[in-house]
Structures are given as C-alpha cells and as structure tokens.
Structure 1
C-alpha cells in the first residue's frame, strides 16, 4: 500500500490516521483524495477486501478503519469482529482501531451486524465528505456515531440473528433510563442535563450499562436496546 497523505493534517495536533477498506478501487481512490484534504485526517492505507483490511490494520495501526461491509474473501462484519477480538496486539501495542462502517444504504442489513460486532457507528457513502471526516474524528475520540432513526429502522426490519434479550433485571431503573437516552443520540453532557445529574454520574451509569450488557461501545448497547424492545423506533426520550 502507498504511504500516508498528510498534507492536509491539522498542524495544531496529531492527525487521525485512517485505513480505507472497500472493494471498489474508484471508491477507495475518491475517499482517499477527499479525506486527505480534510483538516486533521491522514489516510495511511487502503484495503480491497476484508482479509487485507485486517492485515493492513494490524500492520499500519490506524486510529480508524473506514470499513465497507460487502467485500470479497471476508466481509466487513467478520473483519470488524476479528480486528476487535483482541484488546491489545501480541507485542503489547495499543488496542484495536475504531471501526466506522461506510455503506450505500441506510437499511443495509449488514450494518446492524457490524454494529453488533463492535463497530463504533456507520456513515453513508452519499454524505458530504466533511460529514464522513467528522464521523472519523468522533470515532477516534472514542464516541459513537449514532443515527437513531435509521438504526431503529434497520434493527426492526432485520434483527441480528441470535441476539440476546436485554437482561433487564441486571440494569437499575436509572441505567435503563440512561440507555434509552443514549438511543436517542444524546451525548453524556446532554444526558446529564436531561437527568439533572453530574457528568461523572452519567459516565458511571454508561460504563455500568456497557459492562452489564456485554456491549463493546455505546452503539452496540443501543443495538441491544432496540432488539430487546426496551427502545422502539420513534422514541425521543
């Protein structure tokens, strides 16, 4: 793979490094060119299928993998699951990259499976590149990229196979409330304001929710909430 495009990186700080995984060469080239012009983004590699995505991600160690789902040899779901299966690399390096699924359709049934595998969120290929770049930055910062209405429609239309029911007894009333607000797309500060509690309290509740549900991140927790029926499409808090 070719080297990083760092010309447009944010001079004020370290750029977010990105690996683009898509089986369409034109799409990869276009995304690479456009993202490299965005401030604070450095595209450091490409992959043409899921096998190569895993190999290149482990070799280059990007902050974020922009992952297509329908790819040959290994699809984006399995590649996501494989990349996120280890908390640290064998040599003790930092943990796996954040995964942002990039897809053509909002109702792509593969997307919910990728989110269930631990992807931080998803973006549509038709979005303006500045929005895709912002999604990359948000994921790199450890936040989720949630589109509650679209996510709700996808999960309702085609639930994940083998999805476990929400262990409601394990969650406190407050934790269920926080999970419902997470599903509307609210950030931690917004949840704190809505519930009139401190930000640290919300962070504690969110951490408890993720642990009790066995969720890898906020997006995965919201997928579980929709599939369990705790949250239904159209819920606004």
Structure 2
C-alpha cells in the first residue's frame, strides 16, 4: 500500500488548519464543532483575544484564520493586517450594511462570512477554498462589493420602490 504524500513539515497536505478568533465562548465552540467534522479541517486553537491570536498565529501557522469583527483589540484593522501577513483571513460579521461590509473588505482578507447568511457546509467550504488561495463571500458581501464597484449607485429597483431588492440600503 502506498503512503499518503506529506508536506515537508510531516503534515497531510490536504488537511487545512484553522484558528478561530471569536469573542463568544459558546459561538467559538460551535464554529469549532462545525469545522472539526470530518478529516479535512482541523482547528488548531480558539481564542477570544486579538493579542493571543497574533501569538497563536506566529506559533501554529494556521492556513486560515476565522476572525470575528467584534473581537476586542486596540486597533482592529492593524490586527487584521498582522494576521494576514502570516495566514489567510476570513472575516465573520453580523453587519449587513454595504458601507460596513465594504470597509471590512478593504482590509487584506480572503473572505467575508455574514452570520445568518451561511450554513455549516458553506463555512467548511469557505475555509477549504480560502486555504486553496481562493476567496469566499456570503451573498450579502457579494452585493456590498458590487455596490462599491458600481460607484455606490443604487439599483433601479431601489430608485423605483424606495427599498433595495436584497435588503440593503
């Protein structure tokens, strides 16, 4: 029987390592439970603190970091930049406003997941895709990015009805 190829570090090259940075213990544990299903993703650590996230990233070198935008830190944007220099970052947010999401996307992130806009399978697929060098956006984040790219023009449906057809203003 042929042995499975391994990377120089002795790790399975198909295994994606992840770090969860989330201020809520229960929510962070739930994210870990979703990701630890199967053999493709392994959560190497979970923290509720930005400083600890930086230390863990330097020590563990996770392929992907899931970073909640509510994490307490003196300078959130600097935290994102620091983490992104060493790993691929997926921002997780409850925000649905175009301006908030586009501000998050200006940082060096590879993905943006909006709570309530993704299923467990989407979370796992986002982590695998981002680890492979691709990006991943929740549908509302795609809408926000296109809104920004179109020069913040409101869709015709919005101008006619006064509401945005996808729930964004």
Q: Which has the higher strand share?
A: 2
Aligned pair in 2 of structure 1 residues 76, 32: CA closer, same or farther (>3 Å)?
farther
- Cα distance between partner residues in 1 of 2:50 and 2:26: 17
1:139 to 123, 127, 130: 130
- Cα distance between partner residues in 2 of 1:57 and 1:15: 17
Aligned pair in 2 of structure 1 residues 56, 233: CA closer, same or farther (>3 Å)?
farther
1:40 is matched with which residue? 40
Instruction: State whether structure 2 residue 104 is matched by structure 1 residue 114.
Output: yes
Q: Give runs of ≥4 in structure 1 deviating > 4 Å.
A: 231-234
Compute the TM-score of the two structures, normalised by the length of structure 2. 0.71
Compute the TM-score of the two structures, normalised by the length of structure 1. 0.52
Root-mean-square deviation over aligned CA pairs: 2.9
* Residues 2-24 of structure 1, C-alpha deviations (whole Å, 9 max, x = no match): xxxxxxxxxx8531000000010
Give 1:34 shift. 1.8
Aligned pair in 2 of structure 1 residues 108, 40: CA closer, same or farther (>3 Å)?
farther
Unpaired stretches in structure 1, ≥5 consecutive residues: 1-11, 87-95, 157-222
Q: Using CA pairs below 8 Å that are at least 6 residues apart, which structure has the higher relative contact order? A: 2
